[in-house]
């Protein structure tokens, strides 16, 4: 309300409870996944959304942003005059159930929307993967992310994220690295690695004959 920005990037629909409690006019329709055979950046499951010209004049972070590369996004349902469409997929896009099956109606579909709350702004995107390292250099993603996050403090709410086995492994490795990096453990670990390496170095057998070889040599002579 005081002028901040909340960015909700989600295609699973988990954020709908938050949007509901905020009184937002935007919902994530997680029962559909958008694909586009014509306007995409890599494959039909990775459509490129088109930023609406009118949205650029209303929101500074969309200036010079024409396309946003997404990955299997969910369409947004925008109701009432409070919700503002920002970006849509092409008219050739279609929406299907996430598990596959019957193809739904053709687009365009809204995949990015906004709503004003006092002096602040709520932004909703039906996909979170446009923020990933593998996608932020595609289309105008880098420009959009830079405009959203530059010259401001960024806070990430990760309190509701589930911990996967990969995340647990990364945490354990990080803790182990911090432990080993501390002195004197750093020196002990170095000595251990050197000793382990030396243990696997084969000893030289040049110029030596086993008893069997010596005996075999006499028989051969």
In sequence order, the 6+-apart residues with CB closer than 8 A to the CB of 101 are none
pLDDT of residue 180: 66
pLDDT of residue 214: 46
CA distance linking residue 106 with residue 89, whole number of Å: 10
Cα-only R_g, the chain: 29
Contact 61, 144 (CB under 8 A): yes
In sequence order, the 6+-apart residues with CB closer than 8 A to the CB of 50 are 39, 66, 67, 87, 88, 89, 90, 108
CA distance linking residue 62 with residue 153, whole number of Å: 19
CA distance linking residue 35 with residue 11, whole number of Å: 13
* Tens of each residue's pLDDT in the chain, 221 residues: 898 899 999 999 999 999 999 999 999 999 889 999 998 988 899 999 999 999 998 998 999 999 999 999 999 999 988 999 999 999 999 998 876 655 667 889 999 999 999 999 999 999 999 998 888 889 999 999 999 988 888 888 877 777 777 777 887 888 777 776 766 766 776 777 777 777 777 665 555 545 544 444 444 44
């Amino acid at each position: 309300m005081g002028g901040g920005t909340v960015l909700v990037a989600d295609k699973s629909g988990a954020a709908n409870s938050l949007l509901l409690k905020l009184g937002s006019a935007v919902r994530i329709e997680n029962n559909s996944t958008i694909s586009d055979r014509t306007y995409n950046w890599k494959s039909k499951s990775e459509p490129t959304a088109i930023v609406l010209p009118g949205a650029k004049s209303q929101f500074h972070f969309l200036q010079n942003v024409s396309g946003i590369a997404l990955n299997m996004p969910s369409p947004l349902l925008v109701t009432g005059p409070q919700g503002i469409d920002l970006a849509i997929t092409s008219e050739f896009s279609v929406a299907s159930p996430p598990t596959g099956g019957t193809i739904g109606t053709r687009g365009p579909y809204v995949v990015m929307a906004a709503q004003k709350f006092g002096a602040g702004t709520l932004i909703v995107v039906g996909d979170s993967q446009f923020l990933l390292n593998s996608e932020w250099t595609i289309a105008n993603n880098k420009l959009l992310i830079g405009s959203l996050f530059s010259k401001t403090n960024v806070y990430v709410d990760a309190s509701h994220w589930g911990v996967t086995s990969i995340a647990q492994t990364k945490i354990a490795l990080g803790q182990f690295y911090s432990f080993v990096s501390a002195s004197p453990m750093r020196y002990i670990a170095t000595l251990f690695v050197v000793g382990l390496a030396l243990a696997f170095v084969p000893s030289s057998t040049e110029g030596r004959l086993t008893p069997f070889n010596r005996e075999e040599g006499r028989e051969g002579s």
